[in-house]
Amino acid sequence: MNLGQSILEALESLAANKLRSGLTILGIVIGVAAVIAMLAVGTGAQDTILGSISGVGSNLLFVFSGNFTENVRNVQPLTVGDAQAIADPFQAPSVEAVAPILRSELEIAYGGEKTFTNVQGVTPEYAQVRNYAVTEGEFINSDHILGRSSVALVGPEVADKLFNRREGITGETIRIEGQPFRVIGVLESKGGSSFGSQDDVVLIPFSTAESRLIRRSRDRIDQLLVQAVSAEAVPQAAEEIAQILRTRHRTALGADDFTVFSQSDFVQTAQTITGVLTVFLGGIAAISLLVGGIGIMNIMLVSVTERTREIGLRKAIGARKRDILIQFLTESSLLSLFGGLVGIVFGWLIAFVVGQVASASGTPFTPKVGLDAILLATIFSTAVGLFFGLYPANRAASLQPVEALRYE
Binding residues for another protein, rule: CB under 8 A, are: 1-2, 5, 12-13, 16, 309-310, 312-323, 400-402, 405
Taking the complex as a whole, how short is the minimal distance between the CB of residue 9 and another protein, in angstroms? 9
Taking the complex as a whole, how short is the minimal distance between the CB of residue 397 and another protein, in angstroms? 9
Taking the complex as a whole, how short is the minimal distance between the CB of residue 45 and another protein, in angstroms? 49
Question: CA-to-CA distance for 63 and 258, rounded, in angstroms?
Answer: 7
Taking the complex as a whole, how short is the minimal distance between the CB of residue 336 and another protein, in angstroms? 22
Taking the complex as a whole, how short is the minimal distance between the CB of residue 25 and another protein, in angstroms? 20
Whichever of 215 and 320 has its CB closer to another protein, that residue is: 320
Paired sense of beta strands 113-122 and 134-137, if any: unpaired
Taking the complex as a whole, how short is the minimal distance between the CB of residue 302 and another protein, in angstroms? 17
Whichever of 105 and 408 has its CB closer to another protein, that residue is: 408
Residue 361 CB coordination number (10 Å): 9
Whichever of 182 and 321 has its CB closer to another protein, that residue is: 321
Reduce the DSSP state of residue 42 to 3 states and report it.
Answer: helix
Whichever of 243 and 305 has its CB closer to another protein, that residue is: 305
Whichever of 265 and 310 has its CB closer to another protein, that residue is: 310
For residue 37, how many C-alpha atoms fall within 13 Å in the half-sphere facing its CB? 20
Taking the complex as a whole, how short is the minimal distance between the CB of residue 375 and another protein, in angstroms? 32
Q: Could you tell me which of 159, 171, 170 has the C-alpha nearest to residue 113?
A: 159
**CA separation, residue 322 to residues 166, 228, 319 (Å):** 73, 65, 8
Reduce the DSSP state of residue 117 to 3 states and report it.
Answer: strand
Taking the complex as a whole, how short is the minimal distance between the CB of residue 335 and another protein, in angstroms? 17
For the chain, what's the residue count?
408
Whichever of 188 and 310 has its CB closer to another protein, that residue is: 310
Question: CA-to-CA distance for 172 and 169, rounded, in angstroms?
Answer: 6
**Nearby residues of 302 by Cβ (< 8 Å), 6 or more positions away:** none
Q: 158 near 120, Cβ under 8 Å?
A: no
Taking the complex as a whole, how short is the minimal distance between the CB of residue 401 and another protein, in angstroms? 5
**Nearby residues of 116 by Cβ (< 8 Å), 6 or more positions away:** 105, 106, 107, 108
Kindly state the helix (H) or strand (E) to which residue 179 belongs, with its residue range: strand 179-187
Whichever of 295 and 312 has its CB closer to another protein, that residue is: 312
**CA separation, residue 182 to residues 1, 101, 105, 143, 179 (Å):** 85, 20, 19, 15, 10
Whichever of 249 and 314 has its CB closer to another protein, that residue is: 314
**Nearby residues of 148 by Cβ (< 8 Å), 6 or more positions away:** 205, 207, 208, 211, 212
Whichever of 314 and 368 has its CB closer to another protein, that residue is: 314
